[in-house]
Amino acid sequence: EAQVTQNPRYLITVTGKKLTVTCSQNMNHEYMSWYRQDPGLGLRQIYYSMNVEVTDKGDVPEGYKVSRKEKRNFPLILESPSPNQTSLYFCASSSSFRGTGDNEQFFGPGTRLTVL
């Protein structure tokens, strides 16, 4: 089954304790992205990657790091989490542009993070 998986699904942590949220896709997609969702603010892009070793900032990258060492994985790293990073996080993937616009994003189930 084609899917995007995220782990963990729920996490409660404390300020300053480094954490990693993993994201993996089995569709051989080139493009992967992380979003956060907060009440009233919709989905905001954190980082994206167009392929292995190619990453770039989205709209809200502060406080986050990413890496893309393998095509299927795109972990989100919070080196020193703070309470304002409490949010619902989504990972997504899509294929690269092939001229038809058939590059819809497939989203993971989400990770609900609480930083105390």
Partner 1 sequence: DAKTTQPPSMDCAEGRAANLPCNHSTISGNEYVYWYRQIHSQGPQYIIHGLKNNETNEMASLIITEDRKSSTLILPHATLRDTAVYYCIVRVARSGGYQKVTFGTGTKLQVIP
Shorter beta-carbon distance to partner 1: residue 55 or 85: 55
Within a 13 Å sphere around the CA of 101, how many CA atoms are in the beta-carbon half?
0
> Considering the rule CB under 8 A, would residue 87 count as an interface residue with partner 1?
no
Which of residues 7, 11, 63, 106 is near partner 1 by CB under 8 A? 106
SS3 16: coil
DSSP string, 58-91: -S--TT-EE--SSSSB--EEESS--GGG-EEEEE
Binding piece for partner 1, criterion CB under 8 A, among 11-19, 20-28, 74-82, 101-109: 101-109
> Considering the rule CB under 8 A, would residue 50 count as an interface residue with partner 1?
yes
* Alpha carbon distance 116, 111 (integer Å): 16
Query: For binding to partner 1 (CB under 8 A), which residues are involved?
Result: 4, 30-31, 33, 35, 37, 40-45, 48, 50-51, 56, 58-59, 88, 90, 92, 94, 96-97, 99, 101-110, 112
